[in-house]
Amino acid sequence: MTFDRRGLVRALATTLAAPGALWAQPAGKVFRVGFLEAGSPSANRHFLDAFLKGMRDLGYVEGRTVAITARWAEGRAERFEPLLGEFVKLEQDVIVVASTLGAVAARRSVRSTPVVFVGVADPLDAGVVASLARPGANLTGISRAFDAGLIGKTLQLLKEIAPTASRVALLWNTEGAVENRVAEARSAVRSLGMTPLIAEVRDLGGIELAFAKMAQQKADAMMVVTDPLTLRHRRTIIALAEANRLPAIYEFAEFARDGGLIAYSASIPALFERAAVFVDKILKGANPGELPVEQPTAFALVVNLKAAKRLGLTVSPALLLRADEVIR
């Protein structure tokens, strides 16, 4: 029998190169993962479901090889730090946290536990990473987008579906860490030959007041700059937009699926599913500070024809052809 030394070396190299090929979960070890979502389970349970699917697809079995503890910030920024502190006390192996506000709170209060963030608008600008390629410290994760022109593209779609609109209200939460996106939206509205109007909210009670202000300002279209508060109360916002006959565009597909007119965004559930890959790598020994921050590569346009009909709008065939999802 001959001994193929070169073949053995090649086989060994292939084995070593295969992700996780020589890794095995310690016998009897149940990893602990804390999952902190920015909204409420009644509105955003599907984000947790997407993360759980991602973990299952990687071979984890809830209750046997991984224990996932879920908490919800209920759209309130002040809840992030106490809930993150609870995870630290529970000695979670990894924490998954949603939104820019959640990531900022984790950067401030979680010293050593690895953190995977999801949906941060701009991790560099928010100060949660040192660089995108090498985040440093104990945080890494997935951004919503780095494309500086994304808000401009979103507003162009609003102009296309509501071509007569000239006064665009920007609904945003002043506590939501979205000031830079609001400034970008104002500039984009002006570049499209329209007038930007500011409608600020801080809580649920402020949403109705914001719509009253829009009416006083004679707004004839609206964009919602999304954060945990506005996402949690999206059904209220959608209902008020319709009651005020305001064509509105949203940054999350969830708004259009819940009755809003049009949305343009990355798939947020897909980002949560992808977060499981980061968690898996960290549980297998990867340093979060050396895992590059990722961004979505595909965006979906969702058009709700039912909402368009209620608003008396006609959606062009060209726009429908470009839509990734049409709700009829």
| 127 lies in the same domain as 238 | no
Asked whether residue 223 is domain-assigned, the answer is: yes
Query: Average pLDDT over the chain, rounded to whole?
Result: 91
Q: In what order do the strands lie in the sheet with 167-173?
A: 195-201, 167-173, 221-224, 248-250, 262-265, 300-304, 325-327
Whether 328 has a pLDDT exceeding 60, the answer reads: yes
pLDDT, tens only, 296-307: 988 899 999 999
| pLDDT value for 259 | 98
Containing structural domain, residue 96: 27-145+268-290
Asked whether residue 5 is domain-assigned, the answer is: no
Mean pLDDT confidence for 195-216: 96
| 45 lies in the same domain as 194 | no
Q: Which residues pair with 37 in a beta bridge?
A: 72
Asked whether residue 66 is domain-assigned, the answer is: yes
Convert 11-32 to b/e letters by CB count within 10 Å (16 or more is b): eeeeeeeeeeeeeeeeeeeebb
Asked whether residue 312 is domain-assigned, the answer is: yes
User: What letter would DSSP give residue 25?
Assistant: P
| pLDDT value for 146 | 59
Tell me the pLDDT band of 177, cut-offs 50, 70 and 90: confident
Contact 275, 118 (CB under 8 A): yes
Asked whether residue 237 is domain-assigned, the answer is: yes
Contact 87, 34 (CB under 8 A): yes
Tell me the pLDDT band of 1, cut-offs 50, 70 and 90: very low
| 243 lies in the same domain as 156 | yes
Query: Domain of 229: which CATH number?
Result: 3.40.50.2300
| 256 lies in the same domain as 158 | yes
Asked whether residue 221 is domain-assigned, the answer is: yes
Tell me the pLDDT band of 117, cut-offs 50, 70 and 90: very high
Q: At what angle do helices 80-89 and 99-109 cross, to 10 degrees?
A: 50
Q: CA-CA distances (angstroms) from residue 31 to 54, 65, 69, 70, 212?
A: 15, 6, 11, 14, 50
| pLDDT value for 20 | 43
Asked whether residue 7 is domain-assigned, the answer is: no
| pLDDT value for 28 | 78
Mean pLDDT confidence for 78-89: 98
| 230 lies in the same domain as 133 | no
pLDDT, tens only, 236-245: 999 999 999 9
Asked whether residue 40 is domain-assigned, the answer is: yes
| pLDDT value for 129 | 96
Burial class (CB in 10 A: 0-12, 13-18, 19+), 76: middle
Mean pLDDT confidence for 160-183: 94
C-alpha–C-alpha distance, residues 27 and 269, integer Å: 31
Residue with tokens 């193929």: 4
Q: How many domains does the chain have?
A: 2
Q: What is the pTM of this model?
A: 0.86
Contact 103, 81 (CB under 8 A): no
- Please report which helix (H) or strand (E) contains residue 147, including its range: none
pLDDT, tens only, 12-28: 333 333 344 456 787 77
